[in-house]
Amino acid sequence: MSDSSSRQVTSGVRQLLIEADSAGQRLDNYLLKVLKGVPKTRIYRGLRKGEFRINKGRVKADYRLAEGDVLRVPPLHQPEPGAAPVIPGFWAGAIQDRIVYEDPGLLVINKPSGLAVHGGSGLNFGLIECLRQLRPQDRYLELVHRLDRDTSGLILVARKPAILRELHRQLRGDGVDKRYLALVAGRWPKERRIVEAPLQKNIVQSGERMVKVAKEGRASITGFAALEQFPEATLVEARPHTGRTHQIRVHAQFAGHPILGDDKYMDDATRALARRLGVKRLFLHARALSFTLPDQPRLQLEAPLEPELELILQNMRN
């Protein structure tokens, strides 16, 4: 008899009524949450082909759900629910020690490098799955935004639907101020403070997700400020004004100063420089977040550079 966890169940066409708790979410994020086990590529292919419809009409992946919307879900092969992934003790302990802020509606985590924010693409678990196992008393835990797997630093996790909707509202405007530290190749010009270049996602043949600057891409703006100059590199602060995938990384590359340790986007010269300086991971860290919660003063949070990144700077200073 085959293992029951490997069996597939096929759902016919379903009509899902969007409730208040899901209002304001992007359609693709909602589908990834409710269609557990369906490959991400299958969901996005269905979105491109118009198989998922809202109120009988075609919509894009970034459509924001509204209470009362009727979502058509096509027939899909979906794995039967199995046991939750076992979270290694290393990650469980690391995450517990990295909660930097907590209130009844929100958690803020200083995410370590090497941990994805959610399972998928061959990963059984990520930060959100770890949190759900660590904190079973929390009936609602949802990522407010994302960080790349190899990026460390501050990330928001909502504990209430109302907080998720409010922070998404602020993210769509300019209510959330996000600041990153990055070590880039070469001497970043002090006068270059804005990189504005449209970004387009591109899935290469291997299945790896890449992003490129393209005129048909989505408008994207990142502010940069040179903080400390070294002979071969510059420590910069990056402030994304839009929230595109890999935005800081691709804008730094486009400006001619790839981020050290960025295996996706650095060239051979930058790769050699990273080896000389001892950079063994993406040197990108979400160091500061500022935002407002209902009926509270503006909250400002910071996370210091990871020790392995700080050591690289200290060695260059010496």
Q: Give the pLDDT confidence of 178-193 residue by residue, as tens digits.
A: 999 999 999 999 899 9
Count of CB atoms situated within 10 Å of the CB of 53:
15
Least confident of 15-19, 57-61, 160-164, 177-181: 15-19
Tokens of 197: 């270049």
Q: What is the mean pLDDT of residues 101-130?
A: 84
Contact between residue 263 and residue 234 where contact means Cβ atoms under 8 Å apart: no
Least confident of 60-74, 81-95, 96-110, 129-143: 81-95
User: Considering only CA atoms, which of 296, 293, 300 is closest in space to residue 178?
Assistant: 300
H-assigned helices in the chain: 27-34, 40-49, 89-96, 127-134, 161-172, 247-254, 268-277, 307-317
Q: Look up residue 112 and give its DSSP letter.
A: P
Cα radius of gyration (the chain): 21
State the chain's mean pLDDT as an integer: 88
User: Considering only CA atoms, which of 270, 240, 237, 230 is closest in space to residue 253?
Assistant: 270
Least confident of 23-27, 185-189, 213-217: 23-27
What is the reported pTM?
A: 0.76
Q: What is the mean pLDDT of residues 151-165?
A: 93
Surface-to-core class of residue 194, CB atoms within 10 Å of its CB (0-12 exposed, 13-18 middle, 19+ buried): exposed
**pLDDT above 80 for 21:** no
How far apart (Å, rounded) are the C-alpha atoms in residues 60 and 269? 39
How far apart (Å, rounded) are the C-alpha atoms in residues 166 and 142? 13
CA dist list (Å): 239 to 18, 40, 120: 34, 29, 28
pLDDT of residue 302: 97
How far apart (Å, rounded) are the C-alpha atoms in residues 225 and 193? 6
Tokens of 80: 């039967």
* Confidence label for 104 from pLDDT (cuts 50, 70 and 90): very high
The span from the first CA to the last CA of the chain, in angstroms, equals 64
pLDDT of residue 205: 57
Tokens of 234: 């510059």
- Catalytic positions are 148
Q: What is the dihedral of CA 293, 294, 298, 299, to 10 degrees?
A: -30
Strands annotated E in 128-207: 142-143, 152-158, 177-185, 194-196, 199-203
**pLDDT above 50 for 3:** no
Least confident of 70-79, 244-253, 308-317: 70-79
pLDDT of residue 7: 42
pLDDT of residue 287: 97
User: Considering only CA atoms, which of 143, 38, 25, 108 is closest in space to residue 80?
Assistant: 38
Amino acid of residue 259 = I
Tokens of 21: 């708790």
Q: Is 46 left (phi over 0), alpha (psi -120 to 50) or beta?
A: alpha
For 53, the 3-state DSSP assignment is strand
**pLDDT above 60 for 225:** yes
- CA angle (254 as vertex; 250, 255 as ends), nearest 5: 120
Contact between residue 243 and residue 171 where contact means Cβ atoms under 8 Å apart: yes
pLDDT of residue 201: 87
Q: How many residues does this entry show for the chain?
A: 318
* Confidence label for 71 from pLDDT (cuts 50, 70 and 90): very high
**pLDDT above 70 for 2:** no
**pLDDT above 90 for 202:** no
* Confidence label for 5 from pLDDT (cuts 50, 70 and 90): very low
pLDDT above 70: percentage of residues in the chain: 89
pLDDT of residue 255: 97
